[in-house]
Amino acid sequence: MTEILPYIVQPRQDTGLYNAKVGIWLFLGSEVMLFGALFSSYILLRVGTPEGYWPHGWLNIPIGTANTIVLITSSITTVMAWASCKMNQFGRFKLFHACTILLALTFVGIKSFEYHDKFTHYSLTLADGQIADGHLVEKSPDFDLAKKTGHIAIHGHVVNFQNKQGEELQKELKRIYDIRSPEGRAVEHSELKYDASQIASLGTYAPLHNTYTAIYFTLTGLHALHVIAGAIVIGYLWGPGSKMWKTDPERFTNRIEVSGLFWHFVDLVWIFLFPVLYLL
């Protein structure tokens, strides 16, 4: 195939790299800074939070672990797809990258489930100053259900921070902010019903809820966008883009390598996101 630009396929003699490889690494460098800025923000928000108010255990660890395994598995299928191209095994490439796409969709599906869980988790500040916290008994696609019907039923518990200080306040805070603590685990949930007149304000565990949910949705949302973008690129190379294998196999293999580098970076980011958001 005639090359329009030099070094599309062939590496330069001096650097030993073809154009796309330099391009993707420069792009990944900028991506490191993008996520770095958000990680930096996370540290600042966390360190600046008064003691006892930073949530622990708000995210489901088994689900997060499963999603981590899904992403790690997609990384091995990606590198195996590239290796298959290098070994001239196009059929195996197709199989491995089909797995990558399915795993990417699985990851996004699980993440959507987790997001939905947060958007149906309500925190009600009651007129008497107590806080009722829990999930909607009847889940509705209308997240503003309570405002429209005038009442709300949640499966949860009540905490009261009023007139509490020191050790007593810390124990009460753990009942809602540190689900993994003995106090948090000891909480018993029951069905609670409130009329609109009893509710001073309410909101879900959406990004606006507090700084933790804000940074959680920002970090994982941006990461999920990367997963979706990577899946689209890999999907294209797996489908219509794979025609290039017949005409220019080397260039096609390079494309698989470059898209794979992006995918591994997405995996790399999650390796740090998982402990930071789910475990610590």
Partner 1 sequence: MSDQLPHPTPGGAAVAAQAQDHPDHFSHHVRRYLFVFYALLFGTLITVAASYIPFGHRAINIGVALFIACGKGFLVAGYFMHLISERKMIYGIMAFTAFFFIGLMFLTVWSYADFPPLVVSPYK
Instruction: Tell me how many degrees the CA angle 157-163-165 measures, rounded to the nearest 5.
Output: 95
Which of 155, 189, 191, 272 binds partner 1 (CB under 8 A)? It is: 272
Written as six digits, the tokens of 213 are 């949910």
Q: With respect to partner 1, which residue has the nearer C-beta, 205 or 263?
A: 263
CB of 151 to partner 1, least distance (A): 39
For 160-212, list the strands marked E by DSSP: 190-195, 199-204
Instruction: Tell me how many degrees the CA angle 154-158-161 measures, rounded to the nearest 5.
Output: 145
Among 96, 26, 108, residue whose Cα is nearest residue 242: 96
3-state secondary structure of 150: coil
* Whether the Cβ atoms of residue 123 and residue 203 lie closer than 8 Å to each other: yes
| Whole-angstrom distance, CA of residue 197 vs CA of residue 26 | 57
Q: With respect to partner 1, which residue has the nearer C-beta, 225 or 271?
A: 271
Which of 120, 211, 253, 259 binds partner 1 (CB under 8 A)? It is: 253
Angstrom CA distances, 46 to 156, 205, 215, 268, 277, stand at 26, 17, 10, 22, 11
Q: With respect to partner 1, which residue has the nearer C-beta, 141 or 240?
A: 240
The verdict on 85 binding partner 1 (CB under 8 A) reads yes
The verdict on 33 binding partner 1 (CB under 8 A) reads yes
DSSP 158: E
The verdict on 246 binding partner 1 (CB under 8 A) reads yes
Which of 44, 137, 200, 232 binds partner 1 (CB under 8 A)? It is: 44
The verdict on 279 binding partner 1 (CB under 8 A) reads yes
| Whole-angstrom distance, CA of residue 144 vs CA of residue 25 | 45
Q: Judged by CB under 8 A, which stretch of 7-15, 104-112, 129-137, 199-207 contacts partner 1?
A: 7-15
Residues of this chain that interact with partner 1 (CB under 8 A) are: 1, 9-11, 15-17, 21-22, 25-26, 28-29, 32-33, 36-37, 39-40, 43-44, 47-48, 50-51, 61, 65, 68-69, 72-73, 75-76, 78-80, 82-83, 85-90, 245-251, 253, 257, 260-261, 264-265, 267-268, 271-272, 274-276, 279-280
